[in-house]
Every structure is written in C-alpha cells, then in structure tokens.
Structure 1
Amino acid sequence: MDQRISFVTLAVRDLARSHAFYVDGLGWSPEMYVAGEVLMLKVGPHVVLSLWDRAAFAAEVGEPLDGPGVPPVTLAHNVATREEVDEVLATMQAAGAEVSEPAEREWGGYTGYAADPDGFRWEIAWNPGEIGQTVLP
C-alpha cells in the first residue's frame, strides 16, 4: 500500500455555512459542490478536503461522536515565515473563524489556531525545522 492520504473528510452541521467560510471567506476554489450534500476543495497536488453534510456522513460512515470540547483532530497549514502565521490567522478571522493568539512554541516554531464554523481547528504554523520545510510548496 502506498503511504499517502487522498481525502480528508469532515462531517459538518451546515454545509452552506462551511461554503461561506471556505469559498466566500477564504477565497478557496471548490472542485465540486452539491448544495446540501458535499463541498470538495483540492488542498494539495493529490489531496482533497471533503466537507460532507453530517446526515449524509452518518448514513454512510456512522454517527459522528458528539459532545463538548474540541474535535479530536487538527488540520495544519504551514507557512514559510513567522509573519505569515499572523497574516493567515487574520484572514481566517475576517472569514469568521474563532482565532487563538499565536505563540512561540517550545519546539522552536510559532503557531496559532483558528476554528472553522464546525469547530475544526486549523493550526497555522511556521516550523523552521527540517520536517516543517518538507511540507512547503
């Protein structure tokens, strides 16, 4: 089996709200959008972020966990400079994200978090280490 991820699928409560955040707010281009069902966004050369209506997700995959707290997953958007972390977080906040104050991390990077309309956390990160450099375009 090849070592890769092709799709990251998130079950969302309000697909129109997710569309407004990602497409209208962040300016991302959908690869596919079926109102009330699914929004697919190409986020890398061979990776698609699929935002799937929660009811459709439950019918095919199973009922998602629900409860208080933060969803147990993060998505990361790495940038080439420390300043870009602040810029991306400001863009996400303007699009409606709940944003945490970025901070210097003990491992040498600088990161902050932004929550999309369903609370999924995006880590916006500048990672000066070797692994951080491997994921930059």
Structure 2
Amino acid sequence: MEQRVSFITLAVQDLAASHRFYVEGLGWTPEFHDPDEVLMFRAGPLTVLSLWDRAHFEAEIGAPAQTGPGVAPITLSHNVHEREQVDAVLSDARAAGAPVVSEGVEREWGGYTGYFADPDGFRWEIAWNPGPVGQLVLPPVGNTT
C-alpha cells in the first residue's frame, strides 16, 4: 500500500448546513455535490474531503462507536505560511458562523495554532508550523492546490 491518504470522510448531521458553512461561509468550491448524500472538496493535489450525510454513512459502514457528548476523536489541520494567517483564518471562520474553540496561541513546540469547530463540531486546527514537518504540507507560495 502506498503511503498516502486519498479521502477523508466525515459523517455530518445536516449536509445543507455543512454546504452553507464550507461553500457560502468559507468560500470553498465543491468538486461534487449530491444534496441528499455527499459534498466533496479537493483538499490537496491528491486528497478529497468528503462530508457524507450521517444516515448514508451509517448505512454503508455502520454506526460510529462514539455517539455521546464530547468532541470527535479527530482533528483536521489547515497549515499556513505565516503566523499572522492563523488569526486571519480564525476570523474568517468566525465570520462564517464557526465558534472559535481556541484563539491562536504560541505552542511549546515552536508553532502558533488555534481551533474552530464546523457545524458538526469537527475541530479544525489552523497552524503555523515553522519546522520541517510543517513545511511538508504547504503548497508553494501563491499556489492553492
């Protein structure tokens, strides 16, 4: 098996709310959208973020193990080139209706990160990571794909 991830799929309660948040609020462009079932975005050169209606998700793979209160045991990270971009993206997410879970803070490992929650509570980390691993995930400056 090649060392890569092709799709990241999240089960969502309200696909229309996810569409409003990601498309209308954050300005993302869908690659595919079936209003009853799924919303897909190119998240990188070879990666798709798929937001799947929870009922369709459960019909195919089964009910999630954790359905109670709390935070889903996954985070998604959007890394940026400059420290100041962390606060700018958090501000954009807030304007799109997302609660900011954590304002940007200096981290002990040398970076600067903050978190917001999407309509289903999935945590998005906005990160400036100046180290070598952080640089692995950034597109060249000016290239958004």
Q: Distance in 1 between matches of 2:8 and 2:132?
A: 24
1:113 is displaced (CA, Å) by 0.2
Deviates more, 1:107-116 or 1:91-100: 91-100
Map 1:64-75 to 2 at 5 A. 64=64, 65-75=66-76
Q: Deviations over 1:75-94 (max 9, x none)?
A: 00000111000001101111
SS for the counterpart of 1:91 is helix
Aligned to 1:53: 53
Unmatched 5+ stretches in structure 2: 140-145
Q: Distance in 2 between matches of 1:116 and 1:36?
A: 19
Count of equivalent residues: 137
1:68 is displaced (CA, Å) by 1.0
Q: Deviations over 1:37-87 (max 9, x none)?
A: 100001100100000000000000110221111110000000011100000
TM-score normalised by length of structure 1: 0.98
Q: Distance in 2 between matches of 1:108 and 1:17?
A: 35
Q: Distance in 2 between matches of 1:22 and 1:38?
A: 13
Aligned to 2:87: 86
Q: Deviations over 1:3-42 (max 9, x none)?
A: 0000000000000000000000000000100012100001
Unmatched 5+ stretches in structure 1: none
CA RMSD of aligned residues (A): 0.6
Q: Distance in 2 between matches of 1:94 and 1:85?
A: 14
Q: Distance in 2 between matches of 1:94 and 1:36?
A: 26
Where has structure 1 moved over 6 Å in runs of 4 or more?
A: none
Aligned to 1:96: 97
Q: Calculate percent identity across the aligned residue pairs.
A: 69
